[in-house]
Amino acid sequence: MGCRASAAALLLIASLASPLAHASAFDCPQRCGIAQEGAYPHLIVGRVDGVASAEQSAALFQAMRKAGHWKALPADPEAFRQAVQPVSIRLPSGRPHTVLITQKEAQAAPLKAGDFVRYAPHRGVNEKPPTQADELAYWLTTGCVAVLCRGADQACVGAYREGVYRASDGVQLRSDGHTQARGGAPIDPYSMRPR
């Protein structure tokens, strides 16, 4: 009995010390990488960790509002769920980054756990913001996720480098998105391929 308890304690300690001990996919008030008031401003290249269920989306919205964020969004969690799809992208460090895309985008190009993707904030002349106030509020909180490689296509994945990158020039940032990665290698901010 003592050995089992010791083994269980060691497993718990190991799991807390591992990179996966970061916040869970949609536990955003705790540290999921989500920008607090607007769309995440950097590029993220990594694997889809999860696509929020309706319940997770509503819980995320309520937690963020309770924490004092997303004040510009309409107060109705059901309206949020109908307009926005939270997606979690996990980096090799174990850190999850929850980003928001529109439900229209999510339905047009469904994402699956394990897909290798890139997230980008809205940019460019082809991404015109909506003019209706509620739609604009949601648009300012979302970005775009594009599938680079499906599932286990390692030949495809090998052409990219996972990480967080500055959208303007592709400079690699630490996984927290705040500072430049020491010894980081840049990517082309449009093709997502290493320079």
Map residue 185 onto helix, strand or coil. coil
Q: Is the pLDDT of residue 24 over 80?
A: no
Distant-in-sequence, close-in-space partners of 115: CB < 8 Å, separation ≥ 6: 47, 48, 147, 149, 150, 151
Strands 163-165 and 172-173: antiparallel
Q: Is the pLDDT of residue 78 over 90?
A: yes
Domain ranges of the chain: 24-173
CA–CA separation, 149 vs 157, rounded Å? 6
pTM: 0.85
* Amino acid 33: pLDDT: 72
- The answer to whether the CB of 165 falls within 8 A of the CB of 42 is yes
pLDDT in tens, 101-127: 999 999 999 999 999 999 999 987 778
